[in-house]
């Protein structure tokens, strides 16, 4: 199985339009753009569109992976709890004969829309090219290996694979993540000490190998 792709909340948040709509929930990231295209103009899309680019985990019960339910005080029946208003694939409040329920799986259970995993923690790092003295600040996922971080960095330096990556003078293992390479998350400690995170962003230095790829 191919390794899943990880996304930061900021990466999800930029997909916030009707023509490009992503959401995250229960640790996964979903591209709901095809859903909006299929049901274009349906008023039941409104709550979903209002949450474009956001995390909607609070809509779901983490144990059942389904929409949160409650007991309707009028009917005594268990129903989906949708305080933002009923949305696509949620049954109507009262029984009716004109609800089209032949859609198969509801969209929140349809894995076709899944595009990756939401990172448990996003990190900011500085990548310093010692050859050109250029410095780039990059937001990465804690689960990503250095090879995956390299792929993020390629848009700033297409020859990044021709460099040796080091931290504090130690060559990094590109198959391991930041923590496994001894680059630990110190955000909590910095917050406790009331220190500016931007001034203490961990840095990775790149040394040219004279081997262009």
Decide: pTM greater than 0.85. Answer: yes
| CA angle, 151 then 199 then 185, to 5° | 55
- As a residue count, the chain comes to 213
Please answer whether residues 44 and 87 qualify as being in contact, where contact means their C-beta atoms are separated by less than 8 angstroms.
yes
Q: CA-to-CA distance for 74 and 175, rounded, in angstroms?
A: 57
Q: What is the CA radius of gyration of the chain?
A: 22
- Identify the domain boundary among 118, 138, 170: 118
Residue 196 has pLDDT above 80, yes or no: no
Verify that 74 and 143 share a domain, yes or no: no
Q: Across the chain, what does the average pLDDT equal?
A: 91
Q: CA-to-CA distance for 205 and 213, rounded, in angstroms?
A: 18
Q: How many domains does the chain have?
A: 2
Verify that 95 and 46 share a domain, yes or no: yes
Can you tell me whether residue 167 is helix, strand or coil? strand
Residue 100 has pLDDT above 90, yes or no: no
Token pair belonging to 56? 């909607």
Q: Could you tell me the residue range of the domain that residue 185 belongs to?
A: 122-208
């Amino acid at each position: 199985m191919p390794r899943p792709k990880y996304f930061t909340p900021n990466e999800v948040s930029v997909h916030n339009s009707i023509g490009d709509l992503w959401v995250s929930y229960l640790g996964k990231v979903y591209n709901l753009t095809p859903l909006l295209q299929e049901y274009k103009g349906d008023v039941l899309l409104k709550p979903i569109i209002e949450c474009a680019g956001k995390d909607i985990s609070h809509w779901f019960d983490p144990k059942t992976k389904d929409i949160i339910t409650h007991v309707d005080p009028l009917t005594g029946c268990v129903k989906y709890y949708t305080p933002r208003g009923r949305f696509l694939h949620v049954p109507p409040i009262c029984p009716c004969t004109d609800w089209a329920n032949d859609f198969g799986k509801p969209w929140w259970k349809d894995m076709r829309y899944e595009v990756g995993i939401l990172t448990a923690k996003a990190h900011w790092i500085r990548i310093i090219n010692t050859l050109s003295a250029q410095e780039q600040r990059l937001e990465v996922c804690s689960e990503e290996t250095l090879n995956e971080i390299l792929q993020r960095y390629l848009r700033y330096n297409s020859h990044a694979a021709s460099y040796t990556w080091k931290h504090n003078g130690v060559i990094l293992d590109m198959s391991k993540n930041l923590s496994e390479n001894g680059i630990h998350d110190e955000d909590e400690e910095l917050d406790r000490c009331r220190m500016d995170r931007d001034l203490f962003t961990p840095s990775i230095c790149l040394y040219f190998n004279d081997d262009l790829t």
